[in-house]
Amino acid sequence: MRKVIQLGITILFIFSTGHIADAQVQLRRGMTLMGSRFEITLVDRDTLTANKHIDMVVTEIERIENLISEWRPHTQISEVNRNAGIKPVQVDREVFELTKKAIFFAEQSGGAFDISIVALDKVWRFDGSMEEMPNAEAVKKSIALVGYRDIVLDSIASTIFLRKKGMKIGFGSIGKGYAADKGRALMESKGVQAGLVNASGDLSAWGKQLNGKPWAVGVFNPFKPGKMVKILYFNRNAVVSSGNYEKYVEFNGIRYSHIINPKTGYPATGLVSVTVIGPSAEFANGLSTSIMVLGLKEGQKFMKKFPDYKAIYITDTGKIIKK
C-alpha cells in the first residue's frame, strides 16, 4: 500500500502475476499541475507508449489550466474577471459550458456552491500568511460581490459577464475534477485500456489494473490517522473528497477551513469531510463542495437528487455515515 493522494483517499496497488491482454506495463508518474499534485497511472502496451500517453494527458491538463485559471493573467477567466462590471467577454465554448455547469450546481444547491466565492480570496488566505481573523466589515464588503445570479451567460455570443465591478469567478471547486475527466476521456479515445488520473484527490479511473483486479481506493478517517473507513473497488468510476482538515487556519483554538459558505463569507462547519463516488469527477466535485457547505442533513437531501452518486460523510464529532 502506498499513499499517493491527499484529501482523505489513497489508491491501493495490488500486484500479482499475469496481465491484461495486450498490456505489458502499469506505469505511474507524478507531477505538479494546476498548482496541485497530480498522478497519472496507465496500463499500456509498453513503457515508451505509456510515457507518450502520459505526456498527452499532461498537455491536455495544461491546456485546460491555460483556459480557466484565475491566477494566470492571460487566461479567458482572468479576462472575464478584469472586465467585471464593464463588458461581456467572449470565451471558448468549453469555458462557457463549464461555467454553465457551475451555475447548475449553484442553482441545485440553493447557492451553497458558487464560483464567485473567489471574491473573498484577499479576506481568507490559507497559504500560511494569515495572522488574525479577518475583519467582519471586510467579510461583509467582499460577500457583497458574491452571487452566481450576477454571472450573465449569453449562449449565442458565448460570452460571460459579471455584473458587479470587483466580482471574480474561479474553478478551484470543479476544475481539477474536470481535468481528471478530460484526461480519462482522452486516453480512452486513444485506446488505452485502463488508467487513473488523480488530480490531488479528484480521481477519475477506467478499466482494470494490470493484474486484472479493479482499482482499489481507501477513504481515510481524519480522526484516526492511518485508518480507513472504507475501501472502494471499481473499474470506470470517479472518487472525490472534500475536507476541512488539511487546508485551514486556526485562531483562539478554533479551526477555519478553506471551504467558504458563499452566503455568510465564513468557513463551512459541521462536516469534516465528504467523499463522493460516481461516474464523473467534475460532477462529484460539485456535489462534495456543495455538501460541505450544506451540512449533513441538507447534504443528504441534496444527494437524493443524484441517484448515480453516493457519499460518505464524516462529521466534526467523528460520526461516519455511508450512503
Contacts of 14 (CB under 8 A, 6+ apart): 209, 211, 213, 216
Is 69 known as a binding-site position? no
Give the DSSP H or E segment for 9: strand 9-12
- What span, in angstroms and rounded, lies between the C-alpha atoms of 187 and 312? 29
Mind giving me the DSSP string for 22-33? Answer: T--EEEEEEEEE
- Cα 215 to chain centroid, rounded: 20
Confirm or deny that 10 is annotated as ligand binding: no
Distance CA 10, CA 215 (A): 11
Angstrom CA distances, 322 to 8, 223, 232, 255, 302, stand at 15, 16, 12, 25, 15
Bridge partners, residue 320, by sequence: 314
Q: Please state, in angstroms and rounded to a whole number, the distance separating the CA atoms of residues 144 and 165.
A: 11
C-beta of residue 232 within 8 angstroms of C-beta of residue 2: no
- Enumerate the known binding-site residues for Mg(2+): 173, 289
Q: Residues comprising the binding site? A: 173, 289
